[in-house]
């Protein structure tokens, strides 16, 4: 039997060419996805994944800086510090602390407000509850059906 007549040999060569075809198809898909990703983030279409990732980070950083009111060249550290300061200041005003209070002062203000709230609730109940037993006349007005 010759090489062309061997059915097992034919399947192996078709399998290899099929695998190569699939490899080429997946490579083309990867290339197309990479080109589109590069175009979307605003970098050269022939850029590699590392350049695309760096441009994505750069775009996100610029947008976040703009959203937070900083200049577009602000670093991630500057953006984070600005967001933390704004958040801390907003929470401080909400709980009655000064806008420039640190987290410890904010925590103390929250604790004081909670303590005051709980004291107000429980001190009202204590004031409403009589501390002396009711007089005999008041007790006689109550009828206990089980006696």
Q: Is residue 3 part of a domain?
A: no
Q: Is residue 133 part of a domain?
A: no
Per-residue confidence (pLDDT) for residue 100, from 0 to 100: 92
Question: What's the pTM value of the predicted model, to 2 decimals?
Answer: 0.55
Do 34 and 81 lie in one domain? The reply is no
Do 50 and 98 lie in one domain? The reply is no
Domain residue limits at 27: 16-74
Q: Are 115 and 107 in contact (CB under 8 A)?
A: no
What whole-number distance in Å separates Cα of residue 72 and Cα of residue 61?
Answer: 8
Per-residue confidence (pLDDT) for residue 23, from 0 to 100: 92
Measured CA to CA in angstroms, residue 146 lies from 60, 81, 134, 143 at distances of 76, 71, 20, 9
Q: How far is CA 114 from the centre of its chain?
A: 27
Asked if residue 77 has pLDDT above 80, the reply is: yes
Q: Could you tell me how many residues make up the chain?
A: 147
Q: Is residue 140 part of a domain?
A: no
Tell me the three state secondary structure of residue 103: helix
Instruction: Tell me the pLDDT tens digit for each residue of 37-67.
Output: 999 988 898 899 999 999 999 999 999 999 9
Element counts in the chain: helices (H) and strands (E) = 5, 0
What whole-number distance in Å separates Cα of residue 42 and Cα of residue 59?
Answer: 9
Q: Is residue 143 part of a domain?
A: no
What whole-number distance in Å separates Cα of residue 132 and Cα of residue 86?
Answer: 54
Per-residue confidence (pLDDT) for residue 136, from 0 to 100: 56
Tell me the three state secondary structure of residue 9: helix
Helix axes 76-95 and 103-128, enclosed angle (nearest 10): 20
Helix axes 49-67 and 76-95, enclosed angle (nearest 10): 30
Asked if residue 113 has pLDDT above 60, the reply is: yes
Highest mean pLDDT among 18-22, 67-71, 127-131: 67-71
Mean pLDDT of 16-36: 91
Instruction: Tell me the pLDDT tens digit for each residue of 90-107.
Output: 999 999 899 999 999 999
Asked if residue 142 has pLDDT above 80, the reply is: no
Do 54 and 88 lie in one domain? The reply is no
As a whole-number percent, the residues of the chain with pLDDT over 70 amount to: 73
């Amino acid at each position: 039997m010759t090489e062309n007549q061997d059915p097992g040999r034919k399947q192996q060569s078709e399998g290899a060419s099929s695998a190569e075809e699939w490899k080429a198809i997946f490579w083309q898909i990867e290339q197309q996805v990479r080109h589109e990703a590069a175009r979307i983030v605003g970098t050269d279409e022939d850029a590699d994944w590392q350049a695309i990732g760096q441009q994505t980070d750069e775009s996100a950083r610029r947008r976040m800086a703009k959203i937070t009111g900083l200049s577009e060249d602000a670093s991630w550290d500057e953006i984070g510090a600005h967001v933390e300061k704004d958040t801390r200041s907003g929470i401080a005003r909400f709980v009655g602390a000064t806008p420039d209070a640190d987290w410890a002062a904010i925590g103390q203000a929250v604790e004081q407000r909670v303590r005051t709230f709980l004291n107000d609730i429980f001190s009202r109940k204590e004031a409403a509850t009589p501390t002396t037993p009711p007089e005999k006349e008041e007790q006689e007005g109550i009828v206990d059906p089980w006696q």
